[in-house]
Structure 1
Amino acid sequence: MRSSLSTFNEIWQQQLRSSILIDADQHFSDRNFLIGCSGGMDSMLLLYLLHSLFPQRIRAIYIDHQLQEPSATWGKVVADFCRQLDIACVVQCVDVASGNLEQQARNARYAAFLQHKQPNEVLVLAHHQQDQAETVLLRLLSGAGVGGLAAMRRIDIRDDLTIWRPLLNLPREQIEQWTHDLQLSYVTDPTNADPHYDRAWCRTELWEVLQQRFPQMQSALARNAQLMQDADDILQDVVQQDWKKCGDGSHLSLSVLAQLTAARQRQLLSVWMKGELTYRPSLDAVERLQREVIQSKADAQACLYIKPYYYVRFQNVIYRLTAREYLCKQTDHLPMQQTITLHKHQPIVLVSGQYQYAECEYGLSAELLNTTCLLHMRQGGEKVHLQGRIGAWPLKKALQDAQIFPWLRHRVQILLKDDVILGVFTPQGFWLAQSRYCQYGGWQPKLIHEH
């Protein structure tokens, strides 16, 4: 008579196969699978399992971080296993940058995944229930919010990568049992038990203590991640609604932001500050933005740098700028004065952009074409009689009215002929100045490409 344990194992194995087939049918019916395989027990079982279900739709990839002496041998174990099952396999060596070793190794690994993943492939990883529980616990200890406690998703769809974790609800004990029953070969990474690393410390030092008190801790933490994923989805819906009201990826209106509750302000700022980064900024960073920039005087050009972005307040708006955008004034080494010749059929390239000749109802005289003019960088204090205005106005006032930001004003250049101001080149285009060189049926430089 068969043991109840054997019957139980068959039941959960069948349930797992069924859930994988359902996922594949509902979400990935026309996709292939790139399986990230470290050679460990869980990833070797995943490779075997997906081969049994989708033999013609899978490839494997082993990432050699070159951090341990036997890492190349582990890659050979994976490659040999794939050869036995007739699975295409990539072995990729990567260089891990200095810094937080766990984080930098992860960055290198995912960069390699992106390099090899084909457009129709989903990345499949072998994270299991204990991995999920450890992630929740570590993020809780690091002060993560709802998004952090949501941990890993079974199906994680990103802009550049879709990740599927079919074993995420599976306890490690069942993985061990199934791997033993199948007599699968696998490797053991000694760093998995090295308490120098946070995750290994959690697994070897903290885990047993907590389980003695809370025997169902692992499943409870994993369940908490699922609840947090639901909460995070709801929260993100609210954040996106607030974002559309307040601005876009580059700026937020402070007057609209002020109408939100304090909690919604913090959530929106956290998502907005993240930009193209992988993770959101810390709560301390959000509070610094509020304190040092948002709450600064309205007439102040407050600025906060939190790598890699500059957060700048101008009037009643905050802007998120890259270092290149904000510091370009320091990197553009242009002469204060230079000569320039204007041609009818030859575009000119200036610090504010590229311009070409364009006929207009009222503009510059044709006699200026093919002659030498002077180009002065704006220094401050200039007054210009711009066409359409009465009398000469401070150029600074015109730039403010046109919402040309202070960090872009170094691109402003003044065009002169015989000490007569002809106009001003700006990031918004050419502004014609009233002068004796103006006429009806004239021409103007037209901005065709911004800097």
Structure 2
Amino acid sequence: MRSSLSTFNEIWQQQLRSSILIDADQHFLQQNFLIGCSGGMDSMLLLYLLHSLFPQRVRAIYIDHQLQEPSSTWGKVVADFCRQLDMPCVVECVDVVSGNLEQQARNARYAAFLQHKQPNEVLVLAHHQQDQAETVLLRLLSGTGVGGLAAMRRVDVRDDLTIWRPLLDLPREQIEQWTHDLQLSYVTDPTNADPHYDRAWCRTELWGVLQQRFPQMQSALARNAQLMQDADDILQEVVQQDWKKCGDGSHLSLNVLAQLTAARQRQLLSAWMKGELTYRPSLDAVERLQREVIHSKADAQACLYIKPYYYVRFQKTIYRLTAQEYLCKQTDEIPVQQQIHCTKQQLVTLISGDYCCTELEYGLSHELLDIPLMLYPRIGGEKIHLYGRVGAWPLKKALQDAQIFPWLRHRVQILAKDDVILGVFTPQGFWLAQSCYCQFGGWQPKLIHE
């Protein structure tokens, strides 16, 4: 036991040194560690070794997916082991929604990790070399690209957490030997050998066949993942440069996009379409965006819905919108016609935003304050002489010039006194119309916030 532990400490010190982030600002190993422990061989060994190296900075979390009858018993095994080590342990039950069981279980698990992870903690997981190789193989069969084949990273820095996988280069045979030498108890999940699940099928049905032909397959696939990680890092640098030139998270310029090669266009669109989702869209989804929106006629106002986003073309730009943004016309309550009173003391709340009356160098006559004014929606075809323009212009043309999107134009309302148009309330603010009620030293509604 002592000899084994001495060997472990020596090897693990090497593992730790190789896992430290080069960026000194990360202070990676100065943080605490939250170990995701399933009770299996890999995670129980990970729990033991990290506790031996950082006894005061480690705690464990067991996620009970409640999908199998003995899952609560496995949680007790983990909790009992942590008590023996005098280590804090959290047992969290989660509900797995319907759908792809493996994916939904993973989503529930990571949501629980985020819920319990403290700001100064790194999440540590027990994935090993065979897990990595299986991931590469499964993603290859699913038709993924460079990012997918990069598989799992030893140190994965994300916006919401950092994940460390110190066992990632170790073969399962080595882990089995260490666990046996230390006489550690662990649980066995029967679904790990159930070919109904893709990963278990790969492990039980496909693995032996391929390994018989290619004995070094496991290390080769894991090595391929490392090469793909390097390639993906380089690719992402290029994508970010192109993204910065083309637009931002909400829109891309089609003129700038067209200057890129076809391959760089696809990569940029794939990253841009991902938005806040976990995974990038399929190649088919990217090609649909190109075919149905980007290459549509300029005046077609093309729109494509790929859950959960709407992708809309307006003039020479494509926009990525949430359902709430794009469908706001269906949810906004728009009065056909109404009376409003503009005063200096009260805000006026309209569908385009909140307004206050502000004195300006040029604006509406003070005689219009505190009296009923009419407000009605734009119906199309209106011509208005906006202040600062020569003659009357179609309101539609003014909205286009101001790049007020078609899906927001239902919020445009026209202010009038009798039959005289005083101005237009828009999502960008109030536009003054030239009329007999305009004067120097007047007032105008000012948009406070949308």
Letter matched to residue 167 of structure 1: L
- Aligned partner of residue 186 in structure 2, secondary structure: coil
Show the counterpart of 1:113.
113
Kindly state the Cα deviation for residue 9 of structure 1 after the two structures are TM-superposed: 10
Show the counterpart of 1:3.
none
Show the counterpart of 1:391.
391
Map 1:133-282 onto structure 2 (within 5 A).
Answer: 133-282=133-282
C-alpha contact 2:33 2:121 (8 A) present in aligned 1: yes
TM-score, reference length from structure 1: 0.96
Kindly state the Cα deviation for residue 306 of structure 1 after the two structures are TM-superposed: 0.5
Show the counterpart of 2:297.
297
User: Are residue 335 (structure 1) and residue 327 (structure 2) matched?
Assistant: no
Kindly state the Cα deviation for residue 8 of structure 1 after the two structures are TM-superposed: 11
Distance change in 2, residues 1:87/1:223 (3 Å): same
- Aligned partner of residue 334 in structure 1, secondary structure: coil
Show the counterpart of 2:11.
15
Which stretch shifts more, 17-26 or 299-308? 17-26
Show the counterpart of 2:444.
444
Kindly state the Cα deviation for residue 16 of structure 1 after the two structures are TM-superposed: 3.1
Q: Deviations over 1:285-319 (max 9, x none)?
A: 01111111111112221111110111111111111
Letter matched to residue 328 of structure 2: C
Map 1:400-411 onto structure 2 (within 5 A).
Answer: 400-411=400-411
Kindly state the Cα deviation for residue 11 of structure 1 after the two structures are TM-superposed: 5.8
Aligned length in residues: 445
Show the counterpart of 2:126.
126
Distance change in 2, residues 1:208/1:39 (3 Å): same
Separation in 2, partners of 1:23, 1:270: 30
Kindly state the Cα deviation for residue 14 of structure 1 after the two structures are TM-superposed: 2.4
Show the counterpart of 1:358.
358
Separation in 1, partners of 2:49, 2:330: 57
C-alpha contact 2:425 2:431 (8 A) present in aligned 1: yes
Kindly state the Cα deviation for residue 435 of structure 1 after the two structures are TM-superposed: 1.4
Letter matched to residue 310 of structure 2: Y
Show the counterpart of 2:375.
375
Distance change in 2, residues 1:9/1:195 (3 Å): farther
Letter matched to residue 217 of structure 1: M
Letter matched to residue 106 of structure 1: R
Show the counterpart of 2:307.
307
Distance change in 2, residues 1:80/1:168 (3 Å): same
Show the counterpart of 2:42.
42
- Aligned partner of residue 232 in structure 2, secondary structure: helix
Show the counterpart of 2:423.
423
Separation in 2, partners of 1:213, 1:10: 37
Separation in 2, partners of 1:238, 1:7: 50
User: Are residue 435 (structure 1) and residue 435 (structure 2) matched?
Assistant: yes
User: Are residue 66 (structure 1) and residue 66 (structure 2) matched?
Assistant: yes
User: Are residue 53 (structure 1) and residue 53 (structure 2) matched?
Assistant: yes
Separation in 2, partners of 1:86, 1:10: 21
- Aligned partner of residue 389 in structure 1, secondary structure: coil
Kindly state the Cα deviation for residue 320 of structure 1 after the two structures are TM-superposed: 0.7
Kindly state the Cα deviation for residue 23 of structure 1 after the two structures are TM-superposed: 3.2
C-alpha contact 2:430 2:444 (8 A) present in aligned 1: yes
- Aligned partner of residue 29 in structure 1, secondary structure: helix
- Aligned partner of residue 448 in structure 1, secondary structure: strand
- Aligned partner of residue 434 in structure 1, secondary structure: coil
Which stretch shifts more, 415-424 or 261-270? 415-424
Letter matched to residue 118 of structure 1: Q
Q: Percent of aligned positions with the same letter in both sequences?
A: 83
Separation in 2, partners of 1:152, 1:184: 26
Kindly state the Cα deviation for residue 28 of structure 1 after the two structures are TM-superposed: 1.3
Separation in 1, partners of 2:432, 2:102: 58
Kindly state the Cα deviation for residue 391 of structure 1 after the two structures are TM-superposed: 2.0
Letter matched to residue 108 of structure 2: A
Letter matched to residue 294 of structure 2: I
Kindly state the Cα deviation for residue 438 of structure 1 after the two structures are TM-superposed: 1.1
C-alpha contact 2:126 2:165 (8 A) present in aligned 1: yes
User: Are residue 92 (structure 1) and residue 81 (structure 2) matched?
Assistant: no
C-alpha contact 2:385 2:391 (8 A) present in aligned 1: yes
Separation in 2, partners of 1:414, 1:400: 17
Separation in 2, partners of 1:124, 1:34: 6
Separation in 2, partners of 1:13, 1:102: 34
Which stretch shifts more, 145-154 or 434-443? 434-443
TM-score, reference length from structure 2: 0.96
Letter matched to residue 189 of structure 1: D
Letter matched to residue 415 of structure 2: L
- Aligned partner of residue 357 in structure 1, secondary structure: strand
Which stretch shifts more, 336-345 or 425-434? 336-345
Note the residue ranges of structure 1 that are not aligned, 5 or more in a row: 1-5
Separation in 2, partners of 1:412, 1:40: 61
- Aligned partner of residue 180 in structure 1, secondary structure: helix
Show the counterpart of 2:75.
75
C-alpha contact 2:19 2:154 (8 A) present in aligned 1: no
Letter matched to residue 337 of structure 2: Q
Separation in 2, partners of 1:305, 1:56: 50
What is the root-mean-square deviation in Å for CA atoms of aligned residues? 1.6
Kindly state the Cα deviation for residue 366 of structure 1 after the two structures are TM-superposed: 1.3
Letter matched to residue 331 of structure 1: T
User: Are residue 283 (structure 1) and residue 276 (structure 2) matched?
Assistant: no
Separation in 2, partners of 1:213, 1:13: 36
Q: Deviations over 1:257-304 (max 9, x none)?
A: 111111111101100111111100000001111111111112221111
Separation in 1, partners of 2:412, 2:75: 57
Separation in 2, partners of 1:82, 1:419: 80
